[in-house]
Amino acid sequence: MLQSRPPIVTIMGHVDHGKTSLLDYIRKTHVTAREAGGITQHIGAYQIEFQKKKITFIDTPGHAAFNKMRARGAKVTDLVILVVAANDGVKPQTIESIRHIKEANAPMIVVINKIDLPNVYPDMAKAQLAEQGVMVQGYGGDIEVVELSAKTGQGVDKLLELILLTAELNNCQADPDANLKAVVIEATRDPKRGSVATVIVQQGTLKVRQDIQTDTVSGRVKQLLDENRKMLPDVTPGSPAEIIGFTDVPEVGAIVTEVGKPIEEIEEEAAQVAEQTQAEEFAALFDERPKLKLIIKADVQGTLEAINQNLDPDSTELLRAGVGEVTEDDLLFAETTGAMILVFHTRVSRQIEEKARTAKVKIKQYDVIYKLLEDLQKQMLKLIEPTIDEEVQGEAEILQIFDMKGEHIAGCRMITGELKKTHLLHIKRGEEIIADPELKSLMHGKEQIDSVKAKNEFGMTFKQKKLDFQVGDKIIAYVIKED
C-alpha cells in the first residue's frame, strides 16, 4: 500500500557558494534528539527532521556521479536546490549545475546564499539566472527562490518549509511492502569493513540478513548503518543507509533488489519503456520525423553560434553545446541519450577516443562548417532510411534448418552475387529486416569456406545462439559504402 515517504533532495551549485555550509547548518540544527552528539560520518546522504517530518539530503554528489545515476535509469532526486552566492552571482559550475538539472528534468528551488554579507545584490544573481533560462519568481518565471544565510541561519526554515510543500504537491509516496528497490549513490572498499555502499531505498524495505543483488554484484546485508554509525534493523522508502555485506563494490547508480525477485527490474524497464513511448507519441503529434541528437564542441563561442544558426531544427536536436575539448561528462551524456558528438577545430584526446569506442559513442571531427552540415544531411537520410549507405553484395535463401553438435545450421542456396565471411548480414522475412546476425562459420559440406557464389548451396551458423530464422527467409550480404 502506498504511503508518504521523505522527499529526497540534492544540493548543487558553484564551489564556495555555500553548499556545504548550508548542509552543515541544516544538519546541526535539525537532527533528531536521539541523534544529537553522534559522530557524523560521510555516507553520502543523511536525514533531518523538520516540523515532525523527515527530509533526506544527498550530500552533494559530483556531476559525474549525478550523470551516472541518470545513465543507469536511476531517478533518485525528487528536488534539486541550486545554490548561488549573492556576492558572486552565476559562475561556470552554476551553469554546469543548471544543465544537469534540466537534463534530469528535476524540480528546482533556487537559493540565494550569503545575504548576511555587506553590499550584496540578490537581484543581480536572479537576473543572471534568467540569462541562463532559470526564471525565478519576480523575474518572469515560477521557480521558487529563497534568500538566506547558511552562516546565521536566516531563511533556512523557510527553505525547509518550501521543500515539504513541494514534496506534498509532488505526492512523494512509495510502498514499503513492495519488492525491494534501492539505488546506490556512493560505494567504496574499506580496508577493515570490505565493500561498503550507501543506498537510498525507493520502495520495499531493506533489512539485515537480506540477500541482495545488483546487475553485477550480490551479497547478504550484514549491517545497516546511518550517518551516526547507529545500527538499523531496516530501512524504509525515502531513507538512506550504509550497507555492509556486498561481495564486491557495486556501481554508482546500480539498482539493488532482493535475490530471487528480478520482477522489479522488469517492471522498472517496462515503466521506462512506457514513459519513453508516451513521450515519443506526444512528440509524434507535432513531428513524425526522427531527429538527430547532437552534442557540439567547438574552439570558440562564435564558431559554436555559427554552427547552431545553420542547423535544421526539423531534423536535428541540439542537446548540448560548449566550448573546449570533449569531456568524460559529454561522453556519459551522449551514451545516455544516444547522441552523436560533433567536434569543430578542437582536439579529442586518445583517452576520450578509446572510451568513446567502448561506450559506442560516435565522435566526428571537422575543420570546415559546410562539411559538417553536409555530413549532417547524410546522417539524417540514414536516420530516415537505415540502409541508404549499404551496398548489397549478394542474396541467399534458407532452404532447410538442422541441428548438428549443438549448432543451429541454416542450409542455404546463393541466389545472386557473392557472400563472404567478411560481409555484414541482414535476415529478411518478406520486406522486413528481422535480424542483423554475426556470421560464425560458412561451410560447403564438411569443409569450411571463406566465400560462396551464385547458384551454390552452403551451410552457415551464427554467433547469436537463439536467432529466429525460418525456411524461406533471405540472407542479404552487404558492405557499407565509404564517403
* Structure confidence at residue 388 (pLDDT): 59
Q: Which tens digits make up the pLDDT trace of 14-67?
A: 878 888 889 889 888 776 444 434 444 556 788 899 999 999 998 755 555 666
Backbone φ and ψ of 250, nearest 5°: -75, 165
Whether this prediction's pTM lies above 0.85 is answered by no
The C-alpha atoms of residue 266 and residue 268 are separated, in whole angstroms, by: 5
* Structure confidence at residue 383 (pLDDT): 66
CATH topology match: 292-384 vs 390-480: no
Q: Which residues of 388-398 are buried (b: 16+ CB within 10 A; e: fewer)?
A: ebbeebbbbeb
* Structure confidence at residue 207 (pLDDT): 95
Radius of gyration of the chain measured on its C-alpha atoms? 28
The C-alpha atoms of residue 343 and residue 372 are separated, in whole angstroms, by: 9
Domain positions in the chain are: 3-172, 181-264, 292-384, 390-480
The owner of cell 534539486 is 80
* Structure confidence at residue 464 (pLDDT): 87
* Structure confidence at residue 54 (pLDDT): 93
Provide, rounded to the nearest whole percent, the portion of the chain with pLDDT above 90. Answer: 45
Q: Which fold has domain 181-264?
A: Elongation Factor Tu (Ef-tu); domain 3 (2.40.30)
Alpha carbon of residue 381 to chain centroid:
27
* Structure confidence at residue 187 (pLDDT): 87
| CATH of the domain spanning 390-480, picked from 2.40.30.10, 3.40.50.300, 3.40.50.970, 1.10.3720.10 | 2.40.30.10
- Is CATH 3.40.50.10050 what the domain over 292-384 is classified as, yes or no? yes
DSSP string, 151-200: TT-TTHHHHHHHHHHHHHHTT-EE-TTSPPEEEEEEEEEETTTEEEEEEE
Reference 14, options 78, 99, 71; nearest CA is 99
In the predicted model, residues of the chain with pLDDT beneath 70 are 31-43, 60-74, 261-290, 380-389, 482-483
Q: Are 116 and 150 in contact (CB under 8 A)?
A: no
Reference 78, options 151, 5, 132, 17; nearest CA is 5
DSSP string, 91-120: -HHHHHHHHHHHHHT--EEEEEE-TTSTT-
Q: Which fold has domain 3-172?
A: Rossmann fold (3.40.50)
